[in-house]
Amino acid sequence: MTNLPREFALIEKYFRPLAGPAGLALADDAAILPAIPGREWVISVDAMVAGVHFLADDPPDLIARKLLRVNLSDLAAMAAQPFGYLLTLAAPVTTPESWFAGFAAGLAEDQARFGIALLGGDTTATPGPLMLSLTIFGEVAAGRALRRAGAQPGDEVWVSGTIGDAVLGLLARRGELADPSGALLRRYLLPEPRLSLPLAGIARAGADISDGLVQDLGHLCRAGGIGAVIEAQAVPLSPAAREAGSDYLARCLTGGDDYELVLAVPPDRAAALQAAAATSGVAVTRIGHFRADPARVVVLDAEGGEMALGPGGWSHF
Amino acid sequence: MTNLPREFALIEKYFRPLAGPAGLALADDAAILPAIPGREWVISVDAMVAGVHFLADDPPDLIARKLLRVNLSDLAAMAAQPFGYLLTLAAPVTTPESWFAGFAAGLAEDQARFGIALLGGDTTATPGPLMLSLTIFGEVAAGRALRRAGAQPGDEVWVSGTIGDAVLGLLARRGELADPSGALLRRYLLPEPRLSLPLAGIARAGADISDGLVQDLGHLCRAGGIGAVIEAQAVPLSPAAREAGSDYLARCLTGGDDYELVLAVPPDRAAALQAAAATSGVAVTRIGHFRADPARVVVLDAEGGEMALGPGGWSHF
């Protein structure tokens, strides 16, 4: 078969070089995950659609890296270490080869950064917009994955990094907010999965902030059957987000795409968390605590009153 | 949060009931695959797009079942047993709730049939056509997965079931071929993954026929660095395919979507294969053999001459 159809040629040229040993050189119907004694596999899938999660003319390497990173963030939320991924790519037939080259270059860059490899995938044409789906594989000591359930009343609410930059970056991209340094847009385009933060034995529950701080903290509350109260003034904001002003505070608390972690940490482990954070170079901030009642998330403003946030979180439907 | 957005409501109502224990009730950022001593995980992903792989107004339960089955077929090709799956669903915002109900019912039916459960997923809106991607998880004794590589000159080429029905079913759907019994269309809409055929210790290499017999046999040849010769007259056709006539023979040999298996079996294991086939109720047929030269697939016609098949296989691009 000297005249390979375009699908096979694209796989051969751009994706086979990304495959690791477990991907069997993408030459098989499936890939094999090695059994690692004492470890178990953590798996997750996240999709991105042009026009919904990114713009069709965004740089393809950044699209690839964001796709990888939102999935890696799910592993960070489970305290798992990344291993590899499967990729589904549905592209319009008009997609130029240069797009695939850029996309594969982005994958290669972040594969190297995070120590992972392509395990397999499926490519297809679509009459619609570009659509990507990535299944991520990580591994964790058996029984030690961090879960959403497990927070106890009295546990403290901690977050990594700064909150709200990504949603402000999206506003900046739409021309609704100034972003002179480009810092906000960068955070929207290229999140940083918090994989380096060692959470085993420290956090009792956790999630990554993909839907918004209030909503994802709500997931921890629902999973634990409890509530949480946080102080808006304690939520860490970046210099660029502070510059946007207090009118945007509620947006920062409910906007999606931060990919920071929200954690339940018993007070007597707070020092251990701070030590781990210092070692890994990831900032962590205490913003409130869990409590039995009411079983919902309450956000207090600077005066100690409850902030009205409107509908928390968001839906793609 | 009493007013859950539609995405969460749909997951709650239609997908959470499909989740197995490993899916953690779909309440976490990721799922956990249990470690099974002596076994390893086989993983694969296949996507389907409305207008490319199915019609948007196909019954949603059949779309769901075909999506599951094309993925299960990849496990069958690796001689793995199915465990569960992750699902990505990108749907137009106009998709009615009844569609989700039908789709989930189809998943539930085949979950029960194949003994699997939903492990997690991602749902999103798309401005384009409905797009589905499914990651399948199976398990196999460590080191015993069937691979595409491994066929030796002198091994026989065997196939399961009948070949070509699906491509003829697609022609029938397009009105290009009569299909009075509907048998051809049924084979196109609802393939049968050959999971029940025990292949360990019998087949030396294998693949499922998704791109077409000649092309997928070509995959075995390329992986082994050898060739194969098959006799067109030996390829098993269904009564409905025979009725279509010899004009359609080449289409049957190169058409996709059969999801039968093509296997390399040493001659001294042919009896074991036939016994296994009889036990599992899956027909198997010897159609040729592998040879060192030439390193390509040759199809002989009834007179012993080489059939011209045009470009073998197909591409979605």
B109 Cα to chain A: minimum distance (Å): 23
Q: Which residues of B touch A296 (CB under 8 A)?
A: 1
Distance CA B25, CA B121 (A): 11
Domain boundaries, chain A: 6-141, 156-300
pLDDT on residue A96:
93
A84 Cα to chain B: minimum distance (Å): 12
Sheet containing strand B297-300, edge to edge, reads: B205-208, B261-265, B156-160, B284-291, B227-231, B297-300
Pick from A41, A86, A91: which is nearest to B45 by CB?
A86
Residue B54: closest CA among chain A residues belongs to which residue?
A126
Distance CA A295, CA A315 (A): 22
Closest CA to A251 of A127, A307, A168, A172: A168
- ipTM score for this prediction: 0.89
Q: How many CB pairs under 8 A join A and B?
A: 255
Q: What pairing do the DSSP bridges indicate for beta strands B297-300 and B227-231?
A: parallel
Pick from B8, B29, B296: which is nearest to A207 by CB?
B29
Inter-residue long-range contacts of A2-10, CB under 8 Å, 24+ positions, other chains counted: A3/B311, A5/B311, A5/B313, A5/B314, A5/B315, A5/B317, A6/B315, A6/B317, A7/A123, A7/A124, A7/B315, A7/B316, A7/B317, A8/B315, A10/A97, A10/A100, A10/A123, A10/B317
Instruction: Classify domain A6-141 by CATH architecture.
Output: 2-Layer Sandwich (3.30)
Angle of helix B60-77 versus helix B97-114 axis, rounded to 10 = 30
Residue B303 sits at the vertex; the CA angle it makes with B301 and B305, to the nearest 5 degrees, is 60
Q: What pairing do the DSSP bridges indicate for beta strands B284-291 and B227-231?
A: antiparallel
Asked if the model's pLDDT at residue B317 lies above 50, the reply is: no
Instruction: Report the predicted TM-score, pTM, of the whole model to 2 decimal places.
Output: 0.91
Question: pLDDT, tens digit, for every residue of B31-89?
Answer: 999 888 899 999 999 999 999 999 999 999 999 999 999 999 999 999 999 999 999 99
> E-assigned strands of B161-310?
205-208, 227-231, 261-265, 284-291, 297-300
Q: How far is CA A176 from CA A167, A247, B104, in A?
A: 11, 13, 40
Which conformational region is residue A164 in: left (phi greater than 0), alpha (psi within -120 to 50 degrees), or beta? left
Question: pLDDT, tens digit, for every residue of B190-242?
Answer: 999 999 999 989 999 999 999 999 999 999 999 999 999 999 999 999 999 99
Task: State which residues of chain A have pLDDT below 50.
Answer: 1-4, 312-317
Residue B70: closest CA among chain A residues belongs to which residue?
A29
Q: Which residues of B touch A83 (CB under 8 A)?
A: none
Partner-chain contact B43 A125, CB within 8 Å: no
Distance CA B120, CA B23 (A): 6
Strand partners, A261: A208
Distance CA A207, CA A218 (A): 10
What are the φ/ψ torsions at residue B12 (nearest 5 degrees)? -60, -45
- More confident of the two residues A175 and B2: A175
Pick from B33, B44, B87: which is nearest to A43 by CB?
B33
Dig out the tokens for A141 from the structure: 């000591």
Q: Which run of H or of E encompasses A259?
A: none
Partner-chain contact B88 A40, CB within 8 Å: no
Give the total residue count for chain A: 317
Partner-chain contact A135 B40, CB within 8 Å: no
Q: With bands split at pLDDT 50, 70 and 90, how would you rate the model's confidence at B1? A: very low
Which conformational region is residue B143 in: left (phi greater than 0), alpha (psi within -120 to 50 degrees), or beta? left
Residue type, B96: P
Q: Count other Cβ atoms within 10 Å, centred on residue A117.
A: 18
Domain A6-141 shares a fold with domain A156-300 = no
Distance CA B210, CA B258 (A): 6
Q: Count other Cβ atoms within 10 Å, centred on residue B180.
A: 9
A180 Cα to chain B: minimum distance (Å): 31
The dihedral formed by the CA atoms of A213, A218, A224 and A228, expressed in degrees to the nearest 10: 80
Distance CA B130, CA A60 (A): 23
Strand partners, B140: B40
Taken in order A262, B22, B125, A30, the sign of the CA dihedral is positive
pLDDT on residue A2:
30
Q: With bands split at pLDDT 50, 70 and 90, how would you rate the model's confidence at B25? A: low
Distance CA A116, CA A72 (A): 10
Show Cβ contacts of residue B261 under 8 Å, excluding neighbours closer than 6 positions. Answer: B76, B77, B159, B160, B194, B197, B199, B206, B207, B208, B209
A115 Cα to chain B: minimum distance (Å): 19
Distance CA B107, CA B15 (A): 9
Distance CA A221, CA A211 (A): 15
Show Cβ contacts of residue B25 under 8 Å, excluding neighbours closer than 6 positions. Answer: B16, B19
Protein fold of A156-300: Phosphoribosyl-aminoimidazole Synthetase; Chain A, domain 2 (3.90.650)
Question: pLDDT, tens digit, for every residue of B94-129?
Answer: 999 999 999 999 999 999 999 999 999 999 999 999
Q: Judge if the upstream peptide bond of residue B294 is cis by omega within 30 degrees of 0.
A: yes
Q: Which residues of B touch A86 (CB under 8 A)?
A: 43-45, 135
How many percent of chain B have pLDDT more than 90?
Answer: 86
Q: Count other Cβ atoms within 10 Å, centred on residue B130.
A: 22
Dig out the tokens for B134 from the structure: 């499914």
Question: pLDDT, tens digit, for every residue of B133-171?
Answer: 999 999 999 999 999 999 999 999 999 999 999 999 999
A147 Cα to chain B: minimum distance (Å): 6
Closest CA to B199 of B252, B137, B144: B144
CA A218 to chain centre: 17
Q: Which residues of B touch A124 (CB under 8 A)?
A: 47-49, 52-53, 316-317
Pick from A80, A125, A135: which is nearest to B316 by CB?
A125
> Which residue in B1, B15, B29, B148 has the most chain A C-beta atoms within 10 A of its own C-beta, making it the best mutation to test that interface?
B29
A149 Cα to chain B: minimum distance (Å): 8
pLDDT on residue B37:
87
Partner-chain contact B124 A53, CB within 8 Å: yes
Q: How far is CA B208 from CA B67, B110, B186, B193, in A?
A: 15, 19, 19, 9
